[in-house]
Amino acid sequence: KNKQCPENLNKLAWRTLRVNLDILGLYARSDRISDLLGIRATLDTSYHEVKNLLEEHYAVANLFYHDETGAYYLFPAFELGDDLRQSIQNCFPLDLQPQVHLEDSVTGGQLDSRDRESNDERAANQLLAEPRKKTIQIRQAPVLADNNLYPWEEEWTEKRPPNTEICTVCGFRPVGYPLPGSEDEKKLNLQTWAEHDKAKARSVCRVCLDRRGRRCEEWAQEGLQGTIWTSEVADNYGRLALLVGCLDLDGWLDGTLLSTIPLDSIDDKWFAKSPSPARLYRIAETARPFWQQVIDEITPNTVGHRPFRLDIYPAGSYLPELKDKLGPFHAYEIDLDGLPLEAVWDGEKFITAENLGYFARRHDLLAEKLPEYLRGRAVKLKERPELGKPIHEVATARIAESKKLEGYNPTIPLMAEPGVCMVLIPADKALALVREVKKHFELQFGRVRDRLPMHLGLVFFKRRTPIRAVLEAGQAILKMGGKWVWETWDISEVQDVNHKRKLTFENGIIWHVPIFMKDGKTKDDWYPYLLLKKPDSGGSVERQDLVHACQLDSELKVFIRPSRFDFEFLDTTGRRFEISYDSEGRRRQRRTRPFLLDDLDRFNEIWDQMKNLALSQRYQVIQSIEATRESWFGRDEQNQSGGDPVFKQFVKDTLAGAAWGDHPWEKIDEKVREKMVRAGVTGELADLAELHMEIMKEK
């Protein structure tokens, strides 16, 4: 209260208050989608309570950034009292306690590029980027507000249920905690259905059981909208894909790349946009809607709808026994001749909970014939308990009738933050979705795509793969961007096409950079700049190192932060440990990866030609190239084969000698043939075969 407002507002100081949790890490420890969604809902509620506490109740701070690492607030240049710190942490449950920190103070003048006296380029980094970096590096685990030792001494002694273990979800509380009738039970205010015996049977505490909610019941009673079942997301081969997307905002959040957006000049001194908290907020809230659009519009439109589900009615004579033995809105397996069909019992009938196309394919049937196929069949009903426990039979029945229900969209959104997006989709639609996301990225961020890379990854897996392993693989793929990787690209040709600048690079990639505003007449003098010189170690960019897209000429060298694409198939859960990248963002064991995202167009052109070969011919050509590569250069020296003219000639001769049938090698466009040879030499052709033939199951 003794503080006085400074006369010059540029000297007004504030600090960044961060409330951090490793949300991606918390997601990755979930064995079930319901546990992940339960954690997400709990954290959303807790962070909302913190926002109300700081912005409304105390009116002492403003949220200016929020992502998978936590929330960041503008806070006065005061100390953070213990009472306020405790109040913030009281908004979270004990097993999800955040770390609360105050950073050093920053003044408005330090952030203002026009304030020659006070401006400090390091201040913007201190405002958000550095606090966020600390969070990512530490990979913080939940801690207690007062930093005391483990808080569950009583629960693990006199309050400990007999012969209990630790909860398999939170890894924090005893299984079955709290005991019925205890004081802790009254404090926690759990739902009545989150019973002690039910929690013990599932090897979880009652708190985590309560978080899981009754999602199956809600799904059934709300009209079966969307899906909550990974088996329904799976394609006709029982495979799914986790799409992970990343907008590399680091250079924007630390203010470095804002220097590439010129504003004006004062006394012949050029200045760029200042990294104010409001501007950082707008950057984040431009990225967040993009990923939300990916989840809400692009993904459903690309994946499409499954045509129908089935209602399966048991014969009336079996109903009393089924109502007695089956739990309402529990998932079961209907065993038909040894092949299971996953379904949910709603108290009167079963509702299918898996992709019927996959079930029909295993029975050599058409999906449309399933109602007729199921009618009158005797079946066994089995329960699939928690992961790792055996399936056991609970009842038998006979199917009296089966009716079609409306279709659904087979996707499960997991996250949409400014820098990260995650969504589960059918494996056979994954590559099409990547292409659509890439197209929309180019439309929305085409003016700054040289400085704002987008990385996309796909984790393919079978429907029974533990979701924990899939999420860990997804987190590993997010690291493909490397640390501020800049590449030199040579421009070979420049053209003006439809109000855009068409740039053709020596590596074969083509960009169409918008150079006008939306009216098609006003020149965009702010964003479509490219760098002629890589930013220095401090990240600063000088005006003379920028060139507007309209002024580009051929044979110029420009610096690009490339967008990348990678994929991995988890044929075993241990495969996720092979996903690792060096400081340049290259795969350590798969040196052809990650690919440039812009190369997807080239790959599509190559594979369109490869499809003219019979399936056996494709296998033969690729196996011949890879076997020769290994024989000549060894497994660890595949990159060196690219510069060997003899090996290049061998690849060319192998492709030319294949049985191309009605599309002879000599009649393929010369540029396309060269791309195919290059892909064979680098090993990309083998990667494409794995993706299209082994994973996507294309014929």
pLDDT tens digits, 204-262: 999 999 999 899 999 988 888 899 999 999 999 999 999 999 999 988 988 888 888 87
pLDDT average, residue stretch 173-200: 89
N residues, the chain: 699
Stretch 65-82: mean pLDDT: 92
What integer pLDDT is reported at residue 162 of this predicted model?
63
**What are the phi and psi torsion angles at 342 (to 5°)?**
-75, 135
- Number of Cβ atoms within 10 Å of the Cβ of 189: 7
Q: How confident is the model at residue 310 (pLDDT cuts 50, 70, 90)?
A: very high
Element (H, E) at 107: strand 106-107
At 382-435, the pLDDT tens digits run 987 665 567 788 999 999 999 999 999 999 999 999 999 999 999 999 999 999
Residue-level pLDDT at 149? 40
Instruction: DSSP for 393-456, please give it.
Output: EEEEEEEEEEEEE--B---EEEEE-SSEEEEEEEGGGHHHHHHHHHHHHHHHHTTSTTTS-EEE
The three-point CA angle 255-257-263 to 5° equals 90
How is residue 690 written in tokens?
């794995």
What are the Cα distances from residue 346, in Å, to 267, 309, 495? 75, 14, 63
Cβ atoms of 425 and 410 closer than 8 Å: yes
Q: Which segment of 13-22, 71-80, 158-167, 455-464 scores lowest on mean pLDDT?
A: 158-167
Q: For residue 38, give the nearest of 181, 167, 183 by alpha carbon.
A: 167
Q: CA nearest 471: which of 33, 43, 134, 21?
A: 33
- Greatest mean pLDDT among 3-17, 260-274, 378-392, 587-601 lies in 587-601
Q: Is 669 left (phi over 0), alpha (psi -120 to 50) or beta?
A: beta
Cα separation, 46 vs 479, whole angstroms = 28
Q: Which pLDDT belongs to residue 150?
A: 47
Q: Reply yes or no on whether the pLDDT at 289 is more than 60.
A: yes
In this structure, are residues 452 and 525 in contact, taking their beta carbons and an 8 Å threshold? no
Looking from the CA of 289 toward its CB, the CA atoms found within 13 Å total 7
Q: 171 vs 158, which has greater pLDDT?
A: 171
The model's pTM is 0.91
Residue 623 token pair: 């196996």
Cα three-residue angle 686-688-692, rounded to 5 degrees: 120
Question: How much is the pLDDT for 343?
Answer: 95
Q: How far apart are CA 300 and CA 436, in angstroms?
A: 11
Q: Is the pLDDT of residue 641 over 60?
A: no
Categorize the per-residue pLDDT at 265 as very low, low, confident or very high, splitting at 50, 70 and 90. Answer: low
Q: pLDDT band at 640, cuts 50/70/90?
A: low
> In the structure, what pLDDT confidence band is assigned to residue 142 with cuts at 50, 70 and 90?
very low
Query: What's the pLDDT score for residue 147?
Result: 39
Residue 588: the pLDDT is 84
- Looking at residue 591, what is its pLDDT? 80
Per-residue confidence band for 146, with pLDDT thresholds at 50, 70 and 90: very low
Cα gap 153→151, rounded to integer Å = 6
At 34-56, the pLDDT tens digits run: 999 999 999 999 999 999 999 99
Q: Give which of 231, 169, 152, 232 is closest to 206, Cα–Cα.
A: 169
DSSP state of 321: H
Tell me the pLDDT band of 576, cut-offs 50, 70 and 90.
Answer: very high
Mean pLDDT for 287-303 is 96
- pLDDT tier, 148 (very low <50, low <70, confident <90, very high otherwise): very low
pLDDT score of 283 more than 70 = yes
Measure the CA–CA gap between 505 and 523, rounded to whole angstroms.
24
Can you give 520-576 as a three-state secondary structure string? CCCECCCCCEEECCCCCCCCCCCHHHEEEHHHCCCCCEEEECCCEEEEEEECCHHHH
Query: Tokens 């292409």 sit at which residue?
Result: 435
Residues 6+ away with beta carbon under 8 Å from 563: 438, 441, 449, 453, 454, 455, 456, 596, 597, 598
The string of DSSP codes covering 449-518 is TTTS-EEEEEEEEETTS-HHHHHHHHHHHGGGGTTT--EEEEEEEEEEETTEEEEEETTS-EEEEE-B-T
Q: Give the per-residue pLDDT at 391.
A: 79
What is the band of 201 on the pLDDT scale with cuts at 50, 70, 90? Answer: confident
Question: If you average pLDDT over residues 71-90, what whole number do you get?
Answer: 92
% the chain with pLDDT above 70: 90
Q: What confidence score (pLDDT) does residue 387 get?
A: 54
Quote the tokens at residue 90.
Answer: 């009281």
pLDDT confidence of residue 542? 77
User: pLDDT tier at 140 (50, 70, 90 boundaries)?
Assistant: very low
pLDDT value at 268 more than 60: no
Q: Please, what is the average pLDDT of the chain?
A: 88
Residue 139 has a pLDDT of 52
Residue 143: band (very low, low, confident or very high) from pLDDT cuts 50, 70, 90: very low
Is the pLDDT score of 682 beyond 70?
yes
State the pLDDT confidence band at 596, using cuts at 50, 70 and 90: very high
Q: What is the pLDDT of residue 63?
A: 95
